[in-house]
Amino acid sequence: MSEQVFFIPAHQEEGSQILSQKTEKIFRRLDFTENIDHDSFVALKIHFGEKGNKGYIKPSWLSDTMKVLKERSGRIFFTDTNTLYVGNRSNASDHVLLAHGHGFDERKWGVPVIIADGLIGRNSDDIVIDKPRIHTAKIASLFSDSDVLVCLSHFTGHMLTGFGAAIKNLGMGCASRSGKLDQHSDVHPRVNPKYCDLCQTCFDYCPEEAISEKQGTAFIDSEQCIGCGECLVVCPRGAVKMTWDDDKIRVQEKMAEYAFAVNKVYEGKIVCINFLIHITKDCDCMCKGVPPFMEDIGILASKDPVALDQASADLIDEQSGKDILRIKNDVDWTVQLKHAEDIGLGNRNYRLVKCEL
């Protein structure tokens, strides 16, 4: 059985007003508002863009859709999780300020920004899924407490997964810090003594007291370490390092299973919208204004994240005339789609329904 994926052509040059109208048009085709009650907590999952990034989804593109949602509930909010790496999105305080600086201003839109995994990424719930790679997924607690999820994804290339869109936004984007670490790496953090000055900041943040002094430097006991990643973020010297998992198949499959966990939490009350606008080689975590590598295509939406991502990738291949995503990052991006379908997250078969404003 094929899943419906709605598509409306769109280009950034059309301006925010037209893009907002097109987003609302395609959102309404999903008949999703029936899932929203007056007191529903409606999470708008988005990537606010790293400092200096220019490609992220602009809140002005969502203004009409926000109005539609606010007609159903007064409890809608933008959200994302803290990053595993050090930066402006590694804690909720800096993260919210960055979001506001990128236009996600509560005073303008009437929609607050709430970071899903708390101040420093500790707020996490365990979701048992019993899948080949992941037994228990670590999902940011806010998603367990919300009623409805609208997944808003900027389609980009990605160095590990080939591309990032709905599956990545759900799987990696909704994971707590420990969940991100779970997907990225199969080892525990270590301390590089060359950079450690034994300030003991990591001692204070370690929830398992797994860090101690050894031979004049901080030392992480791998048997006590739970892999939460807090030491990685709080170290002021950058002395805590990870041996990142470079197995791109494993990362993609874990990510798909985490997306499955999020879908399990909401029991299908998820809708996904992909923006194929300002399509860049790397994701919006890049702190610079990366130029797009191809022309804008449009906006796609579906209740099935797998069908949506497959349709998005197919449109990119069709426009470029080649597998440009594989060429750009030398990654077999079909892995995440195949595995997502195999574990029951969604269906790669789809029917593209073209819409007009």
Cβ neighbours around 1 below 10 Å, total? 5
Asked if the model's pLDDT at residue 150 lies above 90, the reply is yes
Q: Residue 244: what pLDDT?
A: 67
d(CA 280, CA 248): 19
Mean pLDDT in the chain?
94
User: In the predicted model, what is the mean pLDDT of residues 207-227?
Assistant: 89
Q: How confident is the model at residue 146 (pLDDT cuts 50, 70, 90)?
A: very high
Q: Residue 84: what pLDDT?
A: 82
Asked if the model's pLDDT at residue 78 lies above 70, the reply is yes
**Is 206 or 245 the better-scoring residue by pLDDT?**
206
| Range in 2-16, 66-80, 116-130, 228-242 the model is least confident about | 228-242
Candidates 270, 324, 271, 337; CA nearest to 297 is: 324
Asked if the model's pLDDT at residue 288 lies above 80, the reply is no
Would you state the structure tokens that stand for residue 272, as one six-digit string? 């996904």
Query: Is residue 132 within 8 Å of residue 345, measured between CB atoms?
Result: no
Q: Which fold has domain 188-241?
A: Alpha-Beta Plaits (3.30.70)
Convert the pLDDT of each residue in 4-57 to its tens digit: 999 999 999 999 999 999 999 999 999 999 999 999 999 999 999 999 999 999
Q: Residue 162: what pLDDT?
A: 94
d(CA 25, CA 3): 19
In sequence order, what are the beta bridge partners of 139? 125, 175
Would you state the structure tokens that stand for residue 228, as one six-digit string? 């939460």
Buried b (16+ CB within 10 A) or exposed e, 250-277: bbbbbbbbbbbbbbbbbeebbbbbbbbb
Q: Residue 172: what pLDDT?
A: 97
User: In the predicted model, what is the mean pLDDT of residues 152-161?
Assistant: 95
Cβ neighbours around 24 below 10 Å, total? 19
Q: How confident is the model at residue 286 (pLDDT cuts 50, 70, 90)?
A: confident
Q: Residue 228: what pLDDT?
A: 77
Query: Is residue 280 within 8 Å of residue 55, measured between CB atoms?
Result: yes
Asked if the model's pLDDT at residue 246 lies above 80, the reply is no
In sequence order, what are the beta bridge partners of 137? 127
Instruction: Sketch the domain layout of the chain as residue ranges.
Output: 3-182+247-354, 188-241
Convert the pLDDT of each residue in 299-344 to its tens digit: 999 999 999 999 999 999 999 999 999 999 999 999 999 999 999 9
Asked if the model's pLDDT at residue 187 lies above 80, the reply is no
d(CA 345, CA 263): 8
Measured CA distances, 14 to 19, 21, 116 (Å): 7, 11, 32
Q: Residue 354: what pLDDT?
A: 97
Q: Residue 186: what pLDDT?
A: 72
Q: Which fold has domain 3-182+247-354?
A: Rossmann fold (3.40.50)
Asked if the model's pLDDT at residue 274 lies above 80, the reply is yes
Q: Residue 119: what pLDDT?
A: 95
d(CA 347, CA 239): 43
